[in-house]
Structure formats: structure tokens, C-alpha cells
Amino acid sequence: MKRFIPIALAALAFSALAADAGLPKLAKKATYKIGFAQTETNNPWRLALTASMQGEAKKRGWKLVYTNGNGSAAKQVSDVDSLIAQKVDAIFLSPREEKPLAPAVLKAKKAGIPVFVIDRNVDQSIAKAGRDYVTFIGSDFILEGQRAADWLIKATKGTAKIIELEGSLGSSPANDRKTGFDERIKGTPGLEIVASQTGNFTRDEGRQVMEALLQAHPDVTAVYAHNDEMALGAITALEAAGKVPGKDVIIVSIDGEKDALQAIIDGKLGATVECNPRFGPKAMTAMVDYANGKKIAIKLTNDDRFFDISNAKASLASSY
């Protein structure tokens, strides 16, 4: 019996290596042709991400094939198909929604093209970091929700009726920012989320949803928006309803875009948790490290700052 144990262990080790070995390799080259599949260009954060990816590729002298999902996960899936057909060396994917884009990662892997998932993530039960794609590079969205909640609890002295404006349905930032915030609020008596609805990460939809929810909850005293654009839309809705944002209603959001920093300076927005969109340098350095045979962590988390009245003015010039 003793004789069989080493063989069993070797088989176990081999199967583990085989899973890891399933990742497509990337040759060391002087220059690359890379694909970048963007979700849409419906707000400043998205535009800043695209500019960062295109700027870094240009700086390195690489060819970047850019696709825009125009807000449709189905279109983004076909965009990945097109990048595979164009035989790019690697794909940077910002998956609009966790589930529909996971099979696209598997398709690229099968075609021998390494995928780097940036910004948002895919459903790990379908496609796993380190096995099906090289790594996830992005922010910790649960922590972002927790930081927003911690600030709001202090700013409202522990008593508030909260309206939550959620990001795009099915996206990892919307799912995780809700998880992080809601669990903190549930644990704090005196705070109540009276309504929670998606504004799809856009200013206009944020305004429209806030107008409707204000009708049903005129006694709202706080707003948590999953991104600045929806917070700015909510501010417009509050002012149209004769309320004073920053006084009658305390608002907190996430991203750190220029208009949000200005709203903090103007006293209308209370605070915003940074979610840095400038992925270019970090993403492409990870790709070169991978080509050079370096071990890449399956998650590379961005360090995000926190903006409030104490630092908004100083951060304005370098924002987007």
C-alpha cells in the first residue's frame, strides 16, 4: 500500500499544476497588439479609464484595439469574440456584468489569449482568477461601501432615513458596494435604508430615480450613491424639490470625479470614496511581468483615497 501514496500525491500535484498551467502563455516581445473591451462611455469615470488605457499603450508603442460595449453585455461579449478573431496578444476586459462576460473569458483562454480582468470582475463560479484569467486589477468595492457607510454614520450622528442609488444591475461594483454599505447600516440602530434602486451609474437616471423616490420618501435625510454621477443627479433632484443638499439631506458617494470634488467644496456633497479609473500603467506592467514569467497575484487591489471638505480643493486639479 505504501508504494501507492507517492503516486497519488504526484497526481494531486500534477492536477493542481495542470489547472495553473491552463493559463495561456504570453511571449516576450518588443511590442504587442492588445485588446481593450470597454463596457460603455456613459460617464467621466469610463472616459478616464479609456484615456488611461489608450495613453499607456501609446506610450509603450503598442497597438491597442478598442471596443465599446455601449452599455450592452451582449455587445461586449461579441466584442471579445472580435478581439479573439483579430488574434490580439492579450485582452484587457472590463466586464459590464459578472455573469454574461464570464464565458467570454473562457473563450479567450481556449483561443490561447491571456485575459487581464480590470475594473469590474466576473462570476468566480464560472471563470476563476489564476485559472482562467491572469489576474483581477481593481478596487475593493465592499470596502468602498463600508467606508461610505462609516462616514455617513458619523455625519448623521447615527440617525438617518437613507435612499440608496445602486449602480448597473449585475455589475460587481453595484453588488459589492451594496453589500459593504448595507451590512454596516444594518448593524447601526437609528439608520434605515428606506429605498434602494438602480440609477445605472448615470447622472440623468440618478436624477430621475431620486425624483421618484423623493415623492415616496419626502422625509429622507441621507443619500448613498454608488457613484458620483448619480449623486450629482440626486443633488439636482433635491434642489428642484426645494431641499438644501448638505443641510436637509447628507450625501455620500464613490469615485472622486472632478464635479464631485467641486460639489464637496460647494457644501452639497459630503464625501466621496476614491475609485481610481487610471488603470493603464498598472495593467500593462502586470502584462509585461506575466510575459517575463513573473508570478502574478490573482488580485491586484488599488489603494483608494477618501475625499471630503478637508482635501477636495487640493485634489481638484489632478481629478478627471
Q: What residues make contact with ligand GZL under the rule CB under 6 A?
A: 43, 45-46, 119-120, 138-139, 173, 201, 227, 229, 254-255, 275
Rounded Cα–Cα distance for residues 286 and 246 (Å): 41
Handedness of CA 60, 300, 304, 171 (dihedral sign): positive
Which of 94, 221 has the CB closer to ligand GZL?
94
54 contacts: CB under 8 Å, gap ≥ 6 = 36, 64, 66, 280
Question: CB of 173: closest distance to ligand GZL in angstroms?
Answer: 4
User: At closest approach, how far in Å is the CB of 47 from ligand GZL?
Assistant: 10
CA-to-CA distance for 193 and 69, rounded, in angstroms?
Answer: 32
Q: Are strands 271-274 and 306-307 parallel, antiparallel or unpaired?
A: antiparallel
Give the largest CA-CA distance in the chain: 82
Nearest approach in angstroms of CB 292 to ligand GZL is 27
Each residue of 275-301: b (16+ CB within 10 Å) or e?
bbbbbbebbbebbeebbeeeebeeebe
Question: Going along 5-86, which residue ranges are E strands?
Answer: 33-38, 63-68
Q: Work out how close the CB of 42 gets to ligand GZL at its nearest, in angstroms, rounded to a whole number.
A: 7
Residue closer to ligand GZL (CB basis): 177 or 184: 177
Q: 41 or 54: whose CB is closer to ligand GZL? A: 41
Shortest Cβ distance from residue 240 to ligand GZL (Å)? 23
- Whichever of 89 and 228 has its CB closer to ligand GZL, that residue is 228
Q: Indicate the angle between helix axes 44-60 and 228-240, nearest 10 degrees.
A: 150
- Judged by CB, which is closer to ligand GZL: 9, or 298? 298
Assess contact for 199 and 236: CB atoms under 8 A. no
Least distance (Å) from ligand GZL to the CB of residue 313? 22
Which residue, 67 or 139, has its beta carbon nearer to ligand GZL?
139
Minimum distance between the CB of residue 99 and ligand GZL, rounded to whole angstroms?
A: 16
Rank residues 143 and 291 by Cβ distance to ligand GZL and give the closer one. 143
Q: How far is CA 92 from CA 61, 95, 196, 267, in A?
A: 17, 9, 32, 38
d(CA 53, CA 41): 14
Q: CB-wise, 146 or 227, nearer to ligand GZL?
A: 227
Give min distance, CB of 102 to ligand GZL, in A. Answer: 16
Closest-CA residue to 114 (of 129, 97, 99): 129
How would you classify residue 242: left for phi > 0, otherwise alpha for psi between -120 and 50, otherwise beta?
A: left
